[in-house]
Chain A
Amino acid sequence: NFMLTQPHSVSESPGKTVTISCTRSSGSIASNYVQWYQQRPGSSPTTVIYEDNQRPSGVPDRFSGSIDSSSNSASLTISGLKTEDEADYYCQSYDSSNVIFGGGTKLTVL
């Protein structure tokens, strides 16, 4: 099995742009799609990015996803930060036998 490593926390000011990384420990990041979930306190997770860079309907285009094979990582970028974006963000991927979540990143918008 592989691991997905995320920074424990990031913080940025409203209106700015933040990028959260997710590094795969073994195997290629490009071999299986990456999803990103947002979890606000006391709520269930919701998808903000699926299949590396696709946005579900209703998710603003301020959210974007990408993968970088050279660093074997995925990234979630949120531009024009709003206070409502403050939440925990989890990357997720899979292999033939398991689904793996990253440890989560707490985004603070201050």
Chain B
Amino acid sequence: EVQLVQSGAEVKKPGESLKISCKGSGYSFTTYWIGWVRQMPGKGLEWMGIIYPGDSDTRYSPSFQGQVTISADKSITTAYLQWSSLKASDTAMYYCARRVGATEDFDYWGQGTLVTVSS
């Protein structure tokens, strides 16, 4: 069974760093792209970027380029999303999702990680 299991909810202060994770199982982790999607409270979905764990090829949405870093450790089948300095506006639910094929269809999603940034 394909599963993407994300790390738990986080509460951070502005300026702090954070790295959240997404562990894949039940499939060949290195042969599917993993994307990250933000959902701010009460708002819609926003694509942040995507990584191919096989060779760590990474693409970012222009809106998120330079704001976050996406990485992966294929030895432990885990993808990451990290911030070096959080802002209150980073408060959101973050989902990882597996991309199938080349048509940007995300067929499996993690359960989401809620990040709250507040002083």
Contact = CB atoms under 8 A, between A and B. Distances in A.
A104 B105 CA distance: 16
B10 to A, nearest CB: 18
Output the residue of B44, B45, B95 with the most chain A CB within 10 A.
B45
Interface stretch (B13-21, B70-78, B79-87, B107-115): B107-115
Interface in A29-45: 32-33, 35, 37, 39, 44-45
A90 interface: yes
Interface string B45-79: 11100100000000101100000000000000000
A35 B104 contact: yes
Interface residues of B, number: 21
A57 to B, nearest CB: 11
B119 interface: no
Output the residue of B37, B62, B97, B105 with the most chain A CB within 10 A.
B105
B89 interface: no
A44 B95 contact: yes
Given A1-B62, A99-B35, A104-B44, A47 B103 contact: no
Contacts of B112: 44
10 contacts: A44-B109, A44-B112, A45-B106, A47-B107, A50-B107, A98-B47, A99-B104, A101-B44, A101-B47, A104-B45
